[in-house]
Homo-oligomer: A and B are copies of this chain.
Amino acid sequence: MIRRRGALFVVSAPSGAGKTTLCRETRQRLPDLAYSVSYTTRPPRPGEKDGSDFCFVSAQEFQALRARGEFAEWAQVHGNLYGTRASVLQAALDGGQDILLDIDTQGAAQLRRRYPEAVLVFIVAPSMSELEQRLRERRSDAEKEIMRRLDRAREEIATWRSYDYLVVNRDVDDAVNQLTAIILAERARTSRLGLTLPDLELPSKEAHD
């Protein structure tokens, strides 16, 4: 066994790129991957469960948590507030557990500053026209809302180079394979491996300097 700190996997994507599905499928493949449930002030959508999809809170509750410095990142998206509990991340990292976060580009940038070793993955639809089509197929949104989401998507996509990885969601299975591969690969990075246990008998770097 090799000791290792937990790693943060941050996934961002414009609405309609398929992020929620990809994260869900990837978590099913990697049951040892923890998930950071975001806090939000937006109302639950049909089928969403409090505490597993999101922690739904009032604007007042959110502001109180924020004022107490409880959020590792927070952002306003489409008029709603979203945040990640710092204590949840810290517990996972200290316990050597990898944790997945599904957050927007503003939040990802904040986490990068706080945790420079975080792994940032950006997911895109194969094209803007494909993204638009996917948003229209949802049929839940009014035309004005679709246009607003597309505008925001363009802004978000412009930040892709600040991410470590780009996954193009052309086919769900391929994209899940790629996201899973990123997590498995990062676990094998020597820069994430601490001192090794006697079992492996790998000399530590210090011993040879």
A188 lies within 8 A of B199 (CB): no
Would A190 and B202 be within 8 Å (CB), given that A180-B181, A185-B181 are in contact?
no
Interface size grouping (class) on chain A: 35 or more
Mark contacts of A156-172 with chain B using CB atoms, 8 A cut-off: 1 yes-contact digit, 0 otherwise: 01101101111110000
**B-binding residues in A (CB < 8 A):** 2, 121-122, 124, 126-128, 157-158, 160-161, 163-168, 177-178, 180-182, 184-191, 193, 199-203, 205, 208
Interchain nearest-CB distance for A180 vs B (Å): 7
A200 lies within 8 A of B164 (CB): no
List of B residues within 8 angstroms of A205 by Cβ? 161
B158 lies within 8 A of A203 (CB): yes
> Across the two chains, which residue of chain B brings its CB closest to A158?
B203
Can you give 28 A-B contacts (C-beta < 8 A)? A2-B166, A122-B190, A126-B199, A126-B200, A127-B201, A157-B201, A157-B202, A157-B203, A158-B203, A160-B190, A161-B205, A164-B189, A164-B191, A165-B185, A166-B188, A166-B189, A166-B193, A167-B188, A168-B200, A177-B184, A178-B184, A178-B185, A178-B187, A178-B188, A180-B181, A181-B185, A182-B184, A182-B185
B165 lies within 8 A of A202 (CB): no
| Listed residue (A121, A163, A166) with the most chain B CB atoms within 10 angstroms of its CB | A166
A124 lies within 8 A of B202 (CB): yes
